[in-house]
Amino acid sequence: MEEAEFLLEERHVRLKLIGDIPCISVAGLTIEGLKGQEVEVPLWVAEELVRSGKGELLGEGFGLRDLAKAHWREVLPSSKHLSRMEEDFYFNLRRFLRRLQVESEGNLEKVKVLEKAYSMARDIVNCRTRKLASIAASQAGEEVTKNLTLEERLLYSSLKRMINDWSKKLLEGAFLGEPAGKP
């Protein structure tokens, strides 16, 4: 999970500069710009610039509406397949829930929104995990991974490997009349 988080924090995002930034070198990157200019930087750099009051993230609009759409698509009783999710869905979801957590401190209305969001998120995770486990056990081809998030691809690979290893050990020696569980 940490690997996925790291990879997603390295992706480039658009940032509007709120103040002038003189030439700064950080981790091999050189960043500079004038107030009002839009730049592309890794997410972790953008977050630091936002925190320091030097920038404003552009296009970072994951919210309750996005979560509700994903929830509706995924938990439909008739839905047996994994719907398409953006690779960074859970990453954005975690950031959204953290933001709601901060905003909800001392605000009863925001607490209710946080509880609703967390409930929908839990439903999505539970539903997708069940479907993912079923697909991993079914010996389906790798084409199923096109609808998975980065974290789900990692889970799918682990589950598939574990299930295959378990099945081989379980059936070891049971081929062509050999007794199973041979010492």
Where do the domains of the chain lie? 2-58, 64-171
Count other Cβ atoms within 10 Å, centred on residue 82.
22
Give me the pLDDT at residue 93, please. Answer: 92
Contact 19, 35 (CB under 8 A): yes
φ, ψ for residue 21 (rounded to 5)?
-120, 115
Evaluate whether 2-58 and 64-171 have a shared fold.
no
pLDDT in tens, the chain (183 residues): 666 666 666 677 777 888 888 887 877 777 888 888 888 778 778 777 878 888 877 776 788 999 999 999 888 767 778 888 888 899 889 888 988 998 889 989 989 999 999 999 999 999 999 999 988 888 776 777 888 998 999 899 999 999 989 988 888 866 655 555 544
Cα gap 75→85, rounded to integer Å:
13
* CATH level 3 topology of 64-171: Methane Monooxygenase Hydroxylase; Chain G, domain 1 (1.20.58)
> Environment class of residue 69 by beta-carbon count within 10 Å: exposed (0-12), middle (13-18) or buried (19+)?
exposed
- Paired strand residues for 41: 13
The alpha-helical segments, DSSP class H, found in the chain are 2-9, 43-51, 64-75, 89-104, 108-137, 150-171
| CATH architecture entry for 2-58 | 3-Layer(aba) Sandwich (3.40)
Dihedral of the CA atoms 99, 47, 61, 15 (nearest 10)?
160
Q: What is the pLDDT of residue 58?
A: 76
- Which pLDDT score is estimated for 111? 93
SS3 call for 41: strand
